[in-house]
Amino acid sequence: MTNNFNINLYKKSQQNSNLTKTPHEVVRFLMENLLNSMKSLQSTLQITKGSDIENLTKKQLASFQSKNTSKALTIIYSLQVSLDFDKSPEIAQNLFQIYEYCRVQIINALLKKTKTGLVKAIEVLNDILDGWSNINLRKENV
């Protein structure tokens, strides 16, 4: 009983801390989680001897891929619908296209079992995430 109470209390504190985040922090959080999901998916496409993934059954591997794909696609959708096309249409359009490229590469990676496009998408997202991090650093120094 006490354990459930503590878990619920922790969840509430996490939710409250999310309410105080700036839009830039939320986007950075989403981007970090998107990258983690994409990297996890990539790891399932390049199974090497001795890796943790090598020991997964086909069913476990499919479940792992499904979970990471679903998470990544949901985050991409969230990022796309949060774009403000009125405030800065050119930036919003460019980001939308990048997110769409990532979405297509995730789907292609699963269907074609290739990682080339996924690797490129991860590189692009890393660059964008670096930009988001620099925005926050500049605001803190002002």
Tell whether 5 is covered by a domain.
no
Q: Is 14 a member of any domain?
A: no
Q: What is the per-residue pLDDT across 67-91, written as a single tens digit (0 to 9) for each?
A: 999 999 999 999 999 999 999 999 9
- Does the residue 72 lie in any domain? yes
**Is 32 part of a structural domain of the chain?**
yes
Q: Is residue 2 in some structural domain?
A: no
Dihedral over Cα of 66, 78, 104, 35: its sign: negative
User: pLDDT tens per residue, the chain (142 residues)?
Assistant: 445 655 555 566 566 555 667 887 888 899 999 999 999 998 887 664 455 566 667 788 888 889 999 999 999 999 999 999 999 999 999 999 999 999 999 999 988 888 899 999 999 999 999 887 777 555 555 4
Asked if residue 30 belongs to a domain, the reply is yes
Give me the domain span that covers residue 28.
23-47+55-141
- Inside any domain, residue 12: no
Distance CA 87, CA 84 (A): 6
CATH number for the domain harbouring residue 33: 1.20.120.340
Tokens representing residue 55 in the block:
């020991």
| Domains contained in the chain, number | 1
Evaluate whether residue 118 is within a structural domain: yes
As a residue count, the chain comes to 142
Largest CA distance in the chain: 53
